[in-house]
Homo-oligomer: A and B are copies of this chain.
Amino acid sequence: MFEARLVSSGTLKKVLDAIKDLLNEASFDCSDTGIQLQAMDSSHVSLVSLSLRADGFDKYRCDRNLTMGMNLASMTKILKCANNDDTVTVKAQDDADCVTFVFESKKQEKISDYEMKLMNLDQEHLGIPETDFSCVIHMPSGEFSRICRDLSQFGESVIISCTKEGVRFSSSGDIGSANIKLAQTNNIDKEEETVSIDLQEPVTLTFACQYLNSFTKATPLSNRVSLSMSANVPLVVEYEIPDLGHIRYYLAPKIEEDEN
């Protein structure tokens, strides 16, 4: 028996929004410690890693390890039927070929259950090596999202340059060129608006806009994002999911433009 309950279905909707741009279907690995998902995007360029801790759920029970392959478009249709303040419970039998989503309204007068067939998906678990990064940028997630969106109007790539003074995001193309500079701001009143940089050594790397824009679909999950960069290793874009876990995206830098 597997059963996981969240008092607010809004969080689960946001988790789904954060992955469905990159993945058409996904395997959720459930154990007594929580739910894990790890997958390459459908074009096999970037990697998504989601972790939801058992203790972050309002109720959690997992008698036996279980892998649930789900079509994310179908899951989206089902979650659209929940109000954001409905309680959501995800249920499955131990050897189930289907999963049930139960939505309960606050006053319990309305109870909806949606049963969905599970899928058998090929899985390749990728070892992700721990890395010491040359720099880690912590910044408001909305600002990062805005910058990626703005720069993708100008070119297909974004160059991210990090020094101890700040971060520069650049792009160029037919229209012209664009540069956005964020200064490091450690002493600001509102901590959530801070841009802070942990720097071992300056780094300049180039990334494909398209994937960065997909990663920023996680913005509603957290008002902060961190970007971890080192030469020749994938960028890690991480969003904490408050009290529940985190989602991380990995994207290798572009080689050619890096040498310009």
Contacts and interface: CB of A to CB of B under 8 A. Distances in A.
Interface residues of A, number: 32
Nearest to A74: B175
Interface in A65-100: 71, 74, 77-78, 80-81, 98
A116 B181 contact: no
A1 interface: no
A80 B150 contact: yes
A81 B153 contact: yes
Top 3 A-B residue pairs of the complex, sorted by shortest distance between their CB atoms = A116-B176, A81-B150, A112-B180
A109 interface: yes
Given A78-B175, A114-B176, A176-B116, A109 B195 contact: yes
Interface string A124-142: 0000000000000000000
Contacts of A177: 114-115
Contact of A179 (B74, B113, B117, B185): B113
A116 to B, nearest CB: 4
Contacts of A80: 150, 153
A182 B103 CA distance: 12
A173 to B, nearest CB: 10
Contacts of A178: 78, 81, 112-115
Interface string A162-202: 00000000000001111111110100000000010000000
